[in-house]
């Protein structure tokens, strides 16, 4: 397929490479040009504007937050203005439910397709084409996008006809990951202060009931206190918790653990740790029990 | 080995049966006699008093709470008074760190061995000899107990020289399970209110980052709202959260998620749901978002 | 002074009446005309548009939320477009810190003065000219507004040179009120379940360390379970907690009690109680201990 | 009256002095003798054992925690063994509801009277005979104790026929005080980070809705960061929160703010601040927003 790709960050670079590798014709755009050059070396057509990347059947956007998605979509010469009628915008970013609704309406009015397809996985998984894709939108449009999803991920889950449902599910997943970080952080602060070796404790957990990637990955980062470089920065974690709380507010669903997580992220940012991996919030329990801060 | 077994509840019955099946000579005691008769039919020697069960090399106790363990251990003709010097008390119950310290000291004074060996697993796992055993105590005594552990579990983790460490690790594990229940309950309240099918949502979770027994088991109970009969009752869950908080207090480790869990269990009990499976606390998020209570 | 008044709700009607009573020339605007007619009967000049109310030295706005203030200020023929250069906009509404910053900049660019002057007090206090006014802005402009403040309140506190400071202080005050509601609600759930009479309990509190209007007023509403009609509706309470949390987020200050309050308000709204007095969140502790919901 | 007084700490010394000043014959006991000597200089009869202090019509005990009350009451030659039949034990300590029940039963069995009469007020108020007394017990016995209450306090509230009710009410009051400390601490962290002067902010609060001793006293300590010497130490605050949570647990009443307070106290203790005034927990919000810890 002829695919435009907008946003070549930690995640997007790997995804775009995998689209190339799968044989698609990719035109790539990024705000800073060096990432584009790197991908061009791998066979992509470089785009110097968003509009150039929209000369395609599908444009995939993968950006850090609502503001960035709004800028590339609604701006002058943005996706909305540049994408041909009948072409499809696949939004892989983790964005708010509210923005997803707005994108759905705007693309619909413009005669363009819109699919929300946020992904689970860290940069290593993006590079290895092992992402999990959570997709929602009109069934036929979602089905037509399967070559895209197959190129970037290991499995696709279709969760509904309304794009925003995929965004809600993705946000809820990030909430569950952060819940694991916090709870394992509390447990490690407890057993660690009693002298139990954290690495051995993690091995016990992950050999039994907690044998899942989320415990292996985040438990390992916590046991090793390995918060740099960030796979996903705490600032992004705060953003996602804010979005899940906003979704809860509009659905009138209180989420007490999410409220606690928000306070943890704010503390980490106030301590100067916004650039650390989001797993660093799990080290705040230790700080509150007399240990060092993750920023120390 | 000649093994006494005290406490033939949901968990203990399966464990004692597996000791028999492994070829050990088991003398079994239970407060209500019918459970003893059932096990006698399978080859156990029935004991009418705790003291009778102590005519053994090892006595295993598996009881519901600190009070029950204290009663069988410190009471007249209890384990402490009846067990021969050199024999070993294996405490498999989930008890407080403080009681574990007290048992260690008392058995030491009496020239008896003491090993804490709480287990992870629900009654089905106990029946199938698939428990995970978390053991701590003097290395040689723990080593000598391996035939016992092999008969009841699939794997044993030795976590330290002091028995109380095993109890702390076990309590921390129950805390992590309850954290999963609460966080999945919140996530399901959120996506459920948006119309996502909970069973399908769970499948997505358990096919990706959350592919661990704890999510399969408790996520399934929550998706199906299947809280009866209880594998582990909410009253027991409250007890364990209370014990983990007490351990945190004595180590000066605040555990904010445990505090939240305690409030959830109290709410469930106040609504009349103390007999429900402890996973029912995960349904309180839905109650707080306008849905039914798990006791409705 | 020649004063325009925009927003004749529960609070604004009393404030505008008091401005009239103090001898000011008041031109009053409200979205629904009946409130304007009532005030006209008391001597106000009726305005059929916001612009008409802006033919004045000062325009006071008193509206329910950010959206309403934005509409009357930035809309076509709004305050910004209509107020003469050199005249002053006094914003008495409880609005976000962010909107206050935006208003400050916009009025500054237009050569108009801007003062934030949110008030403490319920509708009875507004009617009785007993509000407490929290003002911030350029010192000379704030000073020039003292006839306005004296007419509506019993005391004015000037808290800084930047208008947004007054909004932050006001929001923090509403946070403290809601904290009192929640804590007294929890305490009453506790002693009430033990058989203590709530009214007598409140008398004890307010005769001792807690002898302050906030305990008399909100403790009384809770003891009598008197949540209708609302002096200030729960929907407004949720809005204010959201704004205080937003202010905390932009200053990187976690506010765990505010997080808890947010969850309480969401629960109350999910139960259908958004129209009740905000003190009704204090009855949720009783609901969680097995009592009735405030919406029952 | 002939009054024995057991426990001459910060609070007890002032109370015993005031009993002397009111003309009562006081025999005083304290574990460390120097406090007894000081009171003897003021006219008290010194007691070298608890039993000596029990040669009286009334014995008042004022101790720091359950353990100390148990020791002087149930110990050999304790109050229970030494007090004449018909004489009355007035327990002014802040103790658990459970211990109060146990004391009621034991004194009843011994033919002695028992009244729970915990007090509100800090050491200054104890010295000035300005305590508030919360009393409960058999109406005639409580009535007979009014000379005691009048000598030590400014007002007495009788809250029920069962002594434990007074203990519950007292604990709930300490919970409300700690809630004020936490909420004001959060508010000051917020407005302080925005540049508002805390002392001026407190003046605004206490001039308006929050004009109560609890805000003056604790708000002042927080604004001045004055945590030493402790009027009431954080260790005692943790104890009281633990007791209010225990009371909530036995009544099945979840108390989320109390849960948060418990975590705050544990953090303060973990940081080495157990000896600081309990108001220091209010400074943890500032620590979590990037400021100094109260122990720094």
For the residues of C158-203, what is the DSSP string, one character each? Answer: EEESSHHHHHHHHHHHHHHHHHHHHHHHHHHHHHHHTT--HHHHHH
B-to-C residue pairs, Cβ atoms closer than 8 angstroms: 20
pLDDT number for residue D226 = 96
Do the chains contact at D266 and B252, CB–CB below 8 Å? yes
Q: Please identify which residue in the block is written with the tokens 């973990």.
A: D270
Q: Compute the nearest-CA separation of D95 from chain A (Å).
A: 27
Residue B288: which of C270, C289, C290 has the nearest Cβ? Answer: C270
Q: Compute the nearest-CA separation of B258 from chain D (Å).
A: 9
D131-136 and D119-120 beta bridge pairing: antiparallel
> Span B7-12, mean pLDDT?
96
Residue B209: which of A177, A186, A196 has the nearest Cβ? Answer: A177
Of the candidates B217, A62, D170, the one whose C-alpha atom is nearest the C-alpha of residue C187 is D170
The one catalytic residue in B35, B130, B164, B170 is B170
Do the chains contact at C209 and D214, CB–CB below 8 Å? yes
Q: In what order do the strands lie in the sheet with A131-135?
A: A119-120, A131-135, A153-158
Q: Cα C86 to chain center, whole Å?
A: 27
pLDDT of C284 over the 90 cut: yes
* CB contacts, 8 Å: D289 with chain A: 266-267, 270
pLDDT of A296 over the 90 cut: no
pLDDT number for residue C75 = 86
* CB contacts, 8 Å: D255 with chain B: 263
* CB contacts, 8 Å: D196 with chain C: 159-160, 165, 168-169
Do the chains contact at D249 and B263, CB–CB below 8 Å? no
Q: Compute the nearest-CA separation of B291 from chain C (Å).
A: 9
CB atoms within 10 A of CB C140: 9
Q: Which site among C136, C157, C194 would you substitute to test the D interface, given the most D Cβ atoms closer than 10 Å to its Cβ?
A: C194
pLDDT number for residue B85 = 96
B-to-D residue pairs, Cβ atoms closer than 8 angstroms: 44
* CB contacts, 8 Å: C262 with chain A: 249, 254, 259
* Mean pLDDT, chain D, whole residue set: 97
Q: Compute the nearest-CA separation of B9 from chain D (Å).
A: 25
Q: Compute the nearest-CA separation of C292 from chain B (Å).
A: 11
Residue D209: which of C172, C214, C254 has the nearest Cβ? Answer: C214
Q: How confident is the model at residue A75 (pLDDT cuts 50, 70, 90)?
A: confident
Q: Cα C191 to chain center, whole Å?
A: 32
Report the interhelical angle of C163-193 vs D256-270 (nearest 10°): 110
Residue D210: which of C155, C176, C183 has the nearest Cβ? Answer: C176
Q: How confident is the model at residue C295 (pLDDT cuts 50, 70, 90)?
A: very high
In this complex, the chains that touch A, judged by 3 or more CB pairs closer than 8 A, are B, C, D
DSSP state of A56: S
* CB contacts, 8 Å: D254 with chain C: 285, 288-289
Q: Compute the nearest-CA separation of C263 from chain D (Å).
A: 11
Do the chains contact at A182 and B257, CB–CB below 8 Å? yes
Question: What CA–CA distance (Å, rounded) separates C61 from C91?
Answer: 5
Do the chains contact at C249 and A270, CB–CB below 8 Å? no
Q: Compute the nearest-CA separation of D37 from chain A (Å).
A: 40
Do the chains contact at C244 and D190, CB–CB below 8 Å? yes
Q: Is C255 exposed, middle or buried (0-12, 13-18, 19+ CB in 10 A)?
A: buried
* CB contacts, 8 Å: D295 with chain B: none
In this complex, the chains that touch B, judged by 3 or more CB pairs closer than 8 A, are A, C, D
Q: Which site among C241, C248, C254, C257 would you substitute to test the A interface, given the most A Cβ atoms closer than 10 Å to its Cβ?
A: C254
CB atoms within 10 A of CB D35: 18
Each residue of A228-259: pLDDT tens digit? 999 999 999 999 999 999 999 999 999 999 99
Q: Which residue of A has its CA nearest to B184?
A: A176
> Span B216-232, mean pLDDT?
96
* Mean pLDDT, chain B, whole residue set: 97
pLDDT number for residue B116 = 98
DSSP state of C44: P
* CB contacts, 8 Å: D266 with chain A: 288-289
> Span C174-188, mean pLDDT?
98
**Distances in whole angstroms, Cα of residue D268 to Cα of each of A109, B245, B254, D294:** 57, 16, 10, 8
* Mean pLDDT, chain A, whole residue set: 97
Residue C289: which of B270, B288, B290 has the nearest Cβ? Answer: B270
Do the chains contact at A255 and C267, CB–CB below 8 Å? no
* CB contacts, 8 Å: D195 with chain C: 160, 165
* Mean pLDDT, chain C, whole residue set: 97
Do the chains contact at A169 and B184, CB–CB below 8 Å? no
Q: Which site among D270, D273, D296 would you substitute to test the A interface, given the most A Cβ atoms closer than 10 Å to its Cβ?
A: D270
* CB contacts, 8 Å: C272 with chain B: 290
Do the chains contact at A289 and D266, CB–CB below 8 Å? yes
In this complex, the chains that touch D, judged by 3 or more CB pairs closer than 8 A, are A, B, C
The pTM for the full model equals 0.95
Question: What CA–CA distance (Å, rounded) separates B70 from A163?
Answer: 58
pLDDT of D296 over the 90 cut: no
Do the chains contact at C272 and B290, CB–CB below 8 Å? yes
Q: Which residue of A has its CA nearest to C270?
A: A252
Contacts 24+ apart (CB under 8 A), D140-147: D141/D88, D141/D113, D141/D114, D141/D115, D142/D115, D144/D88, D145/D58, D145/D88, D145/D90, D145/D115, D145/D117, D147/D1, D147/D22, D147/D24
Q: Compute the nearest-CA separation of D269 from chain A (Å).
A: 8
Look up residue A129 and give its two tokens. 């084409």
Catalytic residues of D: 170
pLDDT of B296 over the 90 cut: no
Catalytic residues of A: 170
Question: What CA–CA distance (Å, rounded) separates B178 from B214?
Answer: 10
Do the chains contact at D254 and B260, CB–CB below 8 Å? no
pLDDT number for residue B215 = 98
- Identify any residues that bridge with C131 across adjacent strands, giving them in sequence order: C153
* CB contacts, 8 Å: C194 with chain D: 165, 168, 247, 251
Each residue of A107-161: pLDDT tens digit? 999 999 999 999 999 999 999 999 999 999 999 999 999 999 999 999 999 999 9
Question: What CA–CA distance (Å, rounded) separates C284 from C138?
Answer: 43
Phi, psi of D203, deg, nearest 5: -60, -40
* CB contacts, 8 Å: D238 with chain B: 249
A-to-D residue pairs, Cβ atoms closer than 8 angstroms: 20
pLDDT of C271 over the 90 cut: yes
Do the chains contact at C271 and B290, CB–CB below 8 Å? yes
Of the candidates D233, D107, D239, the one whose C-alpha atom is nearest the C-alpha of residue D162 is D107
């Amino acid at each position: 397929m002829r695919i435009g790709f907008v946003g070549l960050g930690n995640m997007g670079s790997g995804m775009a490479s995998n689209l190339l590798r799968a044989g698609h014709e990719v035109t790539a755009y990024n705000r800073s040009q060096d990432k584009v050059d790197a991908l061009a070396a791998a066979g992509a057509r470089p785009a110097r504007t968003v509009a150039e990347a929209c000369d395609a059947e599908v444009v995939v956007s993968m950006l850090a937050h609502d503001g960035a998605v709004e800028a590339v979509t609604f701006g002058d010469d943005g996706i909305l203005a540049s994408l041909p009628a009948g072409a499809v915008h696949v939004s892989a970013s983790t964005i708010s439910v509210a923005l997803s609704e707005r994108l759905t309406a705007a693309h619909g009015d413009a005669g363009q397709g819109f699919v929300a397809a946020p992904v689970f996985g860290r940069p290593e998984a993006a590079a290895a084409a092992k992402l999990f894709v959570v997709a929602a939108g009109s069934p036929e449009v979602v089905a037509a996008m399967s070559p895209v999803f197959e190129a970037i991920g290991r499995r696709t889950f279709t969760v509904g006809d309304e794009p925003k449902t995929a965004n809600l599910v993705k946000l809820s997943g990030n909430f569950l990951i952060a819940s694991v970080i916090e709870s394992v952080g509390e447990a490690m602060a407890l057993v660690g202060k009693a002298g139990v070796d954290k690495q051995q404790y993690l091995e016990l957990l992950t050999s039994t009931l907690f044998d899942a990637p989320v415990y292996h990955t985040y438990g390992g980062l916590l046991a090793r206190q390995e918060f740099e470089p960030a796979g996903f920065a705490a600032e992004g974690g705060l953003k996602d918790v804010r979005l899940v709380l906003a979704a809860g507010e509009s659905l009138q669903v209180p989420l007490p653990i999410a409220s606690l997580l928000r306070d943890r992220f704010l503390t980490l940012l106030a301590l100067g740790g916004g650039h650390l991996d989001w797993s660093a919030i799990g080290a705040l329990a230790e700080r509150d029990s007399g240990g060092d801060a993750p920023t120390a």
